[in-house]
Amino acid sequence: MKKLLSLVFLIPACTFAQMNHSMSGAMDDVPKKITSYNFPLKKTQLAPGNIYQAKKVEYDLYVTDTMVNFTGKRRHAIAINGQIPAPILEFTEGDTAIIRVHNMMKMETSIHWHGLLLPNKEDGVPYLTTSPVEAGETYTFTFPLIQSGTYWYHSHTMLQEQSGLYGSIVIHPAQPEPQLKEYVILLSDWTDENPHQVMRYLKRGGEWYAIKKGALQSYGEAIAAGAFKDKLKQEWQRMPAMDVSDVYYNKFLLNGHETNEFKDAKPGEIIRLRIINGSASTYFNLQYANSYMRIIAADGINVNPVNVNKLEIAIAETYDVLITVPDTGTAELRATSWDVTGYSSAYFGNGPVIKAPDIPRLNYFKMMKEMGGMDMGNMPGMDMKNINMPNENSSPKKEMDMNSMDGMQMNGMGGMDMKMDMPGEFNYNMLRALHPTTLDSSLVPREVKLTLTGNMLRYVWSFDFKTLSAADKILIRKGERVRFVLTNNTMMRHPLHLHGHFFRFINAQGEYSPMKHTFDIKPMETVTIEFDANEQQDWFFHCHILYHMMAGMARIVSYEGSEQNEFAKNGYKILKKED
């Protein structure tokens, strides 16, 4: 696997200039902007013999309780080095990371390095791979960086991530490549409620969040929409209001703000955005006002460039895209929540604002009619309560012919040819690896079949009807070729993440299927992933909707014959209590 990854980690190198943001007192004013960094445009511009010398890169992260005010209401939050989001951690492939996490709180915490390939004991899942960072203690992470790309980090302790404990990671390749201005775009969601209160409310199965979002359908509205029979059926089956997400959020943030201005983006300039969905439970649709977005990397790995006019990013995914700053004016990049209850924006350029298009409000009655044609009482895998339907705009799109698409052309348009096929709405079949990703065909794969299941009445999420606390480990053996076949028998989408591995996400590209560490699976969909079992010990596999993971949708992938991590020996039962 690591040999395979060396073929696909080809992301441009750069020197990152990061602003130092401080938080005084209650941190009412969080950082507004992430500055740019540059890397050389043409190889002829590189200094002779410019070979990167690996080094030790050290960070001190101070985790503290604080008070914040994102909405006009102050509430408790968790910050790192006095800021939300946490600091951007910058490295170069080949470096050794030395990160000291100082826990200044009165409760334990943890940090997971999402998407990084590192030793098991550095992965940061408390009671499974790494010791929790106890109150008042310091834990030092030390690991080599064998990859490049856009990644992030977050707490894996209870619901701390929802309170602000997340940040971005940028790893530049050892070999410098073309120069473009870059910005990190870190998306997140914010609730003024204590996340533990949110979880308790979800367990009660109420409809208050649906009411606040305008997702509750009245009889009057149903009659006006010609959906009276569907409304009656919904009530008869004790199915509450249609909705596409569980939680009502007060704000959606981009780099810690609703709006960010990047005035140093020059007219006509092509810039690179490193986009991270660091939210707890929100999918985002991204649209750019000036033109299309050109996807060049997914989950940190370069892909064959493809143009899209709308990019849907699941929770915990990352995408690198290129956009063009308008010749005149300021263009909006808008990240709209999947339930269309709000958005955050970034503005590039100077002058009159060019707004991104609005996404229409969800048609809940259309969704109700679609649900009316399904026998929900007999659906395997679901106890129908708090049904969540997909966005009507998220149906599969016509596949693009990617087989004849050339790689990125570095000529014209200021050093970058942005001309490609007409852009459409993004779907996974558009992702094509730069090199074949096929695994050893001489090995018969160990196939693991998992069904995503849920009990909506009790807000319990699981695999094969078993929560983490009730499930056995998924056993694999080092040297095997492993294939997971996952079927989502719930009416919600789930972003799934496997720690410590990249896998082939099998799509229409066949042998060029992309490598990922996180993927979305839609209701009633079956997805296949496969990977080389080249690690050891135990690794976490879970839904990255925070509240689903905490409600039980997680498993442990365990290497047979491998000595158990010392932190898992006595702590595994504690980990399993999370649901």
**Other CB atoms closer than 10 Å to residue 425's CB: what's the count?**
17
Spell out, as residue ranges, where the chain has pLDDT lower than 70: 1-51, 214-243, 362-422, 568-579
Torsion (CA) 492, 498, 503, 504 in degrees, nearest 10: 0
Omega into 360 within 30° of 0, i.e. cis? no
84 close to 256: Cβ distance less than 8 angstroms: yes
Confidence (pLDDT) at 223: 62
H helix and E strand count, the chain? 9, 34
Confidence (pLDDT) at 9: 36
Rounded Cα gap, residues 233 and 217, in angstroms:
13
Confidence (pLDDT) at 461: 96
420 close to 307: Cβ distance less than 8 angstroms: yes
Token pair in block for residue 444: 């018969």
Rounded Cα gap, residues 374 and 195, in angstroms:
33
211 close to 217: Cβ distance less than 8 angstroms: no
Residue carrying structure tokens 């404990």 = 165
Q: Treating both helix axes as pointing N-terminal to C-terminal, what angle do 364-372 and 228-236 enclose, rounded to 10 degrees?
A: 60
Confidence (pLDDT) at 365: 54
Confidence (pLDDT) at 253: 98
Confidence (pLDDT) at 567: 74
Confidence (pLDDT) at 507: 98
Rounded Cα gap, residues 138 and 152, in angstroms:
21
Confidence (pLDDT) at 213: 72
Q: Which residue segments constitute the domains of the chain, with CATH numbers given?
A: 2-190 (2.60.40.420), 251-360+395-421 (2.60.40.420)
CA-wise closest residue to 172 among 12, 4, 46: 12
Token pair in block for residue 150: 């856009």
Confidence (pLDDT) at 210: 73
Confidence (pLDDT) at 278: 99
The identity of residue 221, as a single letter, is E
Residue carrying structure tokens 């395979």 = 4
Confidence (pLDDT) at 8: 36
